[in-house]
Structures are given as C-alpha cells and as structure tokens.
Amino acid sequence: MLIVKKTTFLLLILFTFLACKKKEESIKISEQTHTEISLSYAKGFSISAANAYKILTISNPWPNSDKVYKYALVEDSILPKITLNRDEFDGIISLPIHKIVVTSTTHLPGLELLQVENTLVGFPGTDFISSKKIRTLVDSGNIRELGKNEGINTEVLLATQPDVVIGFGINGKNKSLETIKKSGIPVIFNGDWVESSPLAKAEWIKFFGVLFNKEQQTDSIFKRIETDYLEAKKLAKNTQNKPTILSGAMHKDIWYLPNGSSTEAQLLEDAHANYLWSNSKGSGSLSLNFESVFTRAKDADIWLSPSNYTSLESLKNGNPHHATFKAFQTKNIYSFTNTTGATGGVLYFELGMTRPDLVLKDLIKICHPELLKNYDLYFFKRLE
C-alpha cells in the first residue's frame, strides 16, 4: 500500500513537472510585439517580425486589388509550441522552405541570388527560363514542367509536394492556384510587377529573403543594386546631350509604346534621355496611330525595344512604315529580344526587374557611348 502511494506521489510530481515545462515552452501569442521591417521603395508588401514568427503582408498583388493577403512564417521548431488563428491568415508557412514552386521568370533571380535555386521543384513554361544554373536543374529533371501559368498542371505540381507556391496573377482569378490552396499547400501572391519604380520592383528580392531566412543577405544584395543604380544615374545626369528616344512598334494599325509614368520611361529619364512621350500619363501602354507617332518621332535619335522584332529586315517586313524613321535609316535601333537563354527565353524578362542597375547602364551606354567605356551591353543589342 505504501509502495502504491509512493508511486502515485512520484507520478503526480512528474506530471506537474511536465505540465510546468510545457507551460514554460509554450509561447503566448498575445505577448508578441511585432516590429515592422522597413522597406525603402516597395509598396506592395510588408514584413513584421516577432520573437516567435513573422508576418508577410501582400497588399497589391495585381492592379486595383481590393484584397490584402496575410501570411504567418513560423520556424518548424516553434510551430508545435504556438497556436495561431488560422482565420487570421491566408496561409501558415513552416520555415525553412525545402521545396518551392514559382510561376513567373521574374521570381527566379531572387532564388539564384540567394543561392537557393536547388529548392525549386516546378515551374510553368520551363523553356522561358534563361538562367544557366536553373536550366541545368531543368535538364537534369530536378524541376518539373507545370504547363502554363493560367492553367497549371495541378496533378504534377501536387506530386512535387512543395512547401509553398509563389503565384502570379493579373486579377486573382486563377482556378489552378485555387485548387492548390484547397489541397493544403500555401499560395503566396507576388506583386513585384505592379510596383511603380525600377528600384521598388528590385526590392522584392527581400520578399524571398524573409521566406528563406536570408534577410541580411537580401539587404546586402539590394543595397549593392541600389548603389550601382544611383551612381549610374548621377553619372548620366552630368552629360550635356539628351538624345531623343522612340520606343515600341506597329501591330496591325496600332503603335504600342510605354506611357510617361511607366518604369521604362523612368529608366530613360534616369539615363538622361529625352523620351518623346515622357509627359503622357496613365496605366498600361499607349496605343497610337502611325501618323501621330511619325509626326513626333520621325527624327528620333534612337529607337529602343521595337516590340519582338529581331532584325532590321523583320522590322521592315512587319510594316514598311518602320523604315521611314531616321533611327531605322541610321541603324540606331536596340532591342533586348536577341539576348536569350538556351531554349529561347528572353533574359531581360527574367532578370531585368531584379537588376535595374544593369538595365540603366545599358541605356546609358546606348544614349551616352562616351560614358561607361569599359561596360559591355548586358541585355540590349543593336539590330542588324
């Protein structure tokens, strides 16, 4: 009897100890103090940090979005110790991320710069990938082809068992992404392309930094990009010449070109160039008739980004009117369409958003060839 009482007493002490230990190890959400992590340019996302978890908020994943997405990022060692209100979040992501799916080529440089490209297990449209490192992973079968962004092969994606999917959308109506979310895999919308300035778009590398616990590394990478961009801008500002710029090309009866508030126009302004439609405003591209473009730009010094035309001959064959511009006659036309990866993916579309410093240096080299004498064009090439 005495032995039974003694055993009961010892068990009671043990349970009390374990309960106290569990209480000590538990983390009270109500006591968390969140600190906002400052961003210099980007407006479409924010990050706040506490000692137990981080919150990633996406406020503008596509133009005129009326929904804010909120995600909790929790270390896998801490996740069992806390209770989060799942109704408060659009997803709870366990860190570190071991397997990821991204859906836009603009997401790829963030992975590569952070040296976590090996975590990529699937991508829709692998032929569009230009990165040599990531192409090697595709060719070796480590990255699965997922079809098209607007119609992702969800069966293949679910088979890769990613920890998270980084989505891209123009209006939030992607049935494939909804199916993925319903399967229990978190989907985070990335709105880098919606930002209104080159450096704001580039700062989205910090989005990937917080997902992979590499905030300090992304701060350093972005600071280098920002510094190089601002130094190049300052260099161009001191030049006397400001060449006139034409952009875009005809498609059927419409000439499409960037509006004056676009990031393309901002880059040209920072390159100290006179973009002939710099005073136009609005969202999206301008849609003009040939006569209005020709009247303003027939004598433009430089013609940049003539749609997807890859040679002077194809540009002329596309529309004979193209050959009537001074820039065509002087062969002063530059495009990024000829700088591609092994399977035809255009490098500019993949890397240009993350590296506006290189885009700006290209434009300065084209517009002010006396500057950056030891710099070779990275994205743009003169049409032959």
Write down the domain spans for the chain: 32-197, 239-382
Assess whether pLDDT exceeds 90 at residue 203. Answer: yes
- Please give the pLDDT value at position 266: 97
Which pLDDT score is estimated for 2? 40
Q: Is 321 helix (H, G, I), strand (E, B) or coil?
A: helix
Answer whether 96's CB lies under 8 Å from 76's CB.
yes
Which whole number is the average pLDDT over 1-28? 45
**Residue 31, pLDDT score:** 47
pLDDT attached to residue 84: 83
The CA distances from residue 211 to 54, 82, 119, 159, in Å, are 10, 19, 12, 22
**Is 239-382 a domain of CATH 2.40.50.100?**
no
Rounded Cα distance between 91 and 84, Å, is 11
Question: What is the dotted CATH code of the domain comprising 32-197?
Answer: 3.40.50.1980
pLDDT grade for 341, boundaries at 50, 70 and 90: very high
Q: Do domains 32-197 and 239-382 have the same CATH topology?
A: yes
* Residue 3 confidence (pLDDT) above 50: no
Tens of pLDDT, residues 118-176: 999 999 999 999 999 999 999 999 999 999 877 899 999 999 999 999 998 888 778 88
Q: Please write the tens of the pLDDT for every residue from 82-98.
A: 888 888 899 999 999 99
Cβ atoms < 10 Å from Cβ of 72? 22
CA distance 56 to 17: 37
Q: What percent of the chain has pLDDT over 90?
A: 77
In tens, the pLDDT along 284-303 reads 789 999 999 999 999 999 99
* Residue of 29, 57, 52 whose CA lies nearest to 42: 57
Q: What is the per-residue pLDDT for 30?
A: 45
Q: Report pLDDT for 33.
A: 54
| pTM (2 d.p.) | 0.90
